[in-house]
Chains A and B, each alone.
Chain A
Amino acid sequence: MLRLTNLRKTYGELVAVDGVSLHVRRGEVFGLLGPNGAGKSTTIGMCVGLVRPDSGEVNVDGVGSPMRHEVRAHLGVAPQALAIYDDLTGFENLRLFGGLYGLRGSALEERVQRVLDLVGLLARGNDRAGGYSGGMKRRLNLAAALVHDPPLLLLDEPTAGVDPQSRNNILDTVRELSKAGRTVIYTTHYMEEAQRVCDRVGIIDKGRLLCVGTVDELVREHGGKSQLRIERGEKSERLETADPVREIARVLGDGGVTGVHIDRPDLESVFLTLTGRSLRD
């Protein structure tokens, strides 16, 4: 669906994206996980034709480079920076974006209604977007990417700065899109989100794509061992093990155990292993 080959982008001395190659498959939700400044938005920018790569190329579904405007008709973009007009209503915003993708008349109206409903804003459709809450604006920003029903969606931190309610709505929407066969690229620095919605995840740091795989694969390969905390009365001891279940069975056999706590490795541990730093740094 989308193939990135050896993408590189520098800003002066700074290497924002450094040799990224990636194949996003049709119908999957692909997570691009990385800390601030990792190069996620720059990568998305190159995928939608806004940022010209220094070298390497982007190919959308065999149709070509998104630098060509007609190729962009296949894409739907929700930028990280909210890109909606505060002075327009929700409906008007979506009519504008739908119009830019060639939708007109009743087809446009129907899609506008549909996506506004999908993101739970139908009741507020006639209000100016400027009066929306942060979470509602995010949802409208997402709806603008969906209005022309593109096969490939690029969502750049679609949950940035939103409340749990909007966040749930957005994550549910992404899952529904995936079920409907759309391909989604989803950037985030929240590993919980990546674990919850993404079929596969790529971890990016300092412009480099460090690894790609399903969450399980990544954890298995790079997550390291599980941490066990065994409590015996006042005392507690820590163990590292690759097979926590067997280890627990063994210590329980020793007797005197009052509590067991397992810390399984997750994407955070993967990141720590690969970079020596925490995702949140």
Chain B
Amino acid sequence: MGTIAGMSALWAIARTDLRILLRDKAAAFFTFVFPILFAMFFGFMFGGGGGERGKIEIAVVQQDKGPAAEAFVRDLGKTPEILVKKVETEAEAERLVRKGDVLASIVIPPTFQKGFDDLFSTGKGPVVAGVLDPSRKAEVGLLEGRLNELAFRTMAGTFQNAAGMKKQLAKVREAIAKAPDIENSRKILFGAALQNLDTILNDNEKRESEGKPTDLGGAMAEFRPVQLELKELARDRSGPTNAFEVSLPQGIVWGLMGCVTAFVATLAHDRQRGTLVRLLSAPVTRWQVIGGKALAGFLSCMLVQWVLILLFALLFKVHLREPMMLGLATVASAYAFVGVMMLLSVMGRSGEGSAGFGRAVILVMAMIGGGTIPIFFMPKFMQAVSSASPFKWAVLAIEGSLWRPMTGTEMLLPLGVLVGIGTVGLWIGGMMFRRSTMS
């Protein structure tokens, strides 16, 4: 049989198993629905749902104590989406960003007031510098928008008292008069225009004294009075920022468990019902049959992992910081659990026995491997015990690509263990399968 025909036979077997799994309502429930509910439940329980969610926390270092800066910081604090944490030094602010406690830090420089005062003559507002966590770009966008809006309001507040504006105008007029590159005729034109403005302002001054403030807002909507200079600062990932980042790997544990259980059961069923023997009497090799079953197991493990991951990314803002690494982690986990499936399915000789035995083993492994209590909550000795469970390594690999501070080299350990489990399981399981079907 050629490779193409061999692959198509393998795929025919894999497709059949997948179809049967998806059709089995109980299996589909425990593989897909239950893990999602479980992870959602724990996510909400650990405080993922309410509280400060939706607020952007920023650290502010206020180096200018002038009225404009005071107003700016005060207004910032009043913005509903933003939670301001005042800190003394720039270093402290950056530390908070690195820790992931705040999204960004900004520094109101000592020249802030002057920047405002010179706004019209220089055309540039004060520079507000800071650092941000690049992994949360969407929120940074929102923050920038808010900061500009605020700066504008602060500025408007400053100039709304017409006296301040007149002072500005005087400066502008002076600047125009001195400018060497403006023709005299133009200077006269500008002078006239500015004179008119002065008249309006005088009028406003009168109105204000009568208690009628002027609104300059609309006219200046496009104006960017503050120059934001935010630099990216990679964060030290020392812990989950979101409870769903903890409960997602837990959900994945239960999802993988559902897959393994379902597949051990279908294999047992296959053997019991004689369909396995029937497959083997077709012109396919035993390895093709094993390969087909393994492929189905692999695909269902991948499916359940990514359904959970994408759902949580979408619904609960679980950020997929390292998608490549996450891809690798899910592939390694799926491979490992295919090995576990193989091994468990050949353990018991009788169909039902092997399914029952498999269920028990896998349940214990899931529980000690982080399915019930997140591994990093476990006491040290429990963490050591949990190393015996393949689930722990799957969780580690996934957490390592979500929030756990792990370097590429550190990731090699869980990934390697997973690949090892998969290979050993497939090899031993495959050999035993071959032997058990040869009479």
* A interface with B by C-beta (< 8 Å): 45, 48-52, 69-73, 75, 77, 79, 81-88, 92, 95-97, 99-102, 104, 144
Contact = CB atoms under 8 A, between A and B. Distances in A.
A81 B283 CA distance: 19
Interface of B: 1, 5, 8-9, 12-13, 16, 19-20, 23-24, 273-275, 277-285, 437-439
Given A81-B273, A82-B274, A85-B16, A50 B280 contact: yes
A101 B437 CA distance: 20
Contacts of B278: 77, 79, 83, 97, 144
Nearest to A97: B282
Contacts of A144: 278
B277 A83 contact: yes
22 contacts: A45-B439, A50-B281, A50-B437, A50-B439, A69-B1, A70-B283, A73-B283, A75-B281, A77-B281, A79-B274, A79-B277, A82-B274, A83-B273, A84-B275, A85-B20, A87-B24, A92-B16, A92-B19, A96-B12, A97-B278, A101-B282, A102-B9
Contacts of B20: 85, 87-88
Contacts of A49: 281
Given A50-B439, A83-B277, A100 B23 contact: no
A84 B276 CA distance: 10
A96 B12 CA distance: 6
A83 B283 contact: no
Contact of B279 (A51, A73, A100, A102): A100
A155 to B, nearest CB: 13
A51 B275 CA distance: 16
A7 B191 CA distance: 118
Contacts of A97: 278, 282
A101 B283 contact: yes
A45 B438 CA distance: 11
A100 B280 CA distance: 10
Contacts of B13: 96, 100
A147 to B, nearest CB: 11
Contacts of A99: 8-9, 12
A92 B16 CA distance: 8
A52 B280 CA distance: 13
Nearest to A52: B438
B5 A102 contact: yes
B275 A83 contact: yes
Contacts of A96: 12-13, 16
A77 B279 CA distance: 10
Contact of A50 (B9, B19, B273, B277): B277
B48 to A, nearest CB: 37
A-B residue pairs, 10 tightest by C-beta: A83-B278, A99-B12, A81-B274, A100-B282, A73-B283, A72-B283, A83-B274, A48-B281, A87-B20, A102-B5
Contact of A51 (B274, B282, B439): B439
B274 A72 contact: no
A65 to B, nearest CB: 13
A55 to B, nearest CB: 15
A52 B438 CA distance: 7
B167 to A, nearest CB: 84
A69 B283 contact: yes
A85 B275 contact: yes
A153 to B, nearest CB: 12
Contact of B9 (A45, A79, A86, A100): A100
A100 B277 CA distance: 13
A100 B284 contact: yes
Contacts of A83: 273-275, 277-278
Contacts of A87: 19-20, 23-24
Given A72-B283, A92-B16, 9 more contacts: A50-B439, A69-B284, A70-B1, A72-B282, A79-B274, A81-B274, A96-B12, A99-B12, A101-B283
Query: For A71, A87, A144, which residue has the most chain B Cβ atoms within 10 angstroms?
Result: A87
A104 B281 CA distance: 19
Contacts of B8: 99, 102, 104
A88 B16 contact: yes
Contacts of A48: 281
Contacts of A100: 9, 12-13, 279, 282-284
Nearest to B438: A52
Nearest to B1: A70
Contacts of B439: 45, 50-52
B209 to A, nearest CB: 86
A87 B25 CA distance: 11
Contacts of B19: 87-88, 92
A84 B283 CA distance: 17
A72 B278 CA distance: 12
Nearest to B289: A100
Contacts of A84: 275
Nearest to A66: B281
A49 B5 CA distance: 20
A99 B5 CA distance: 9
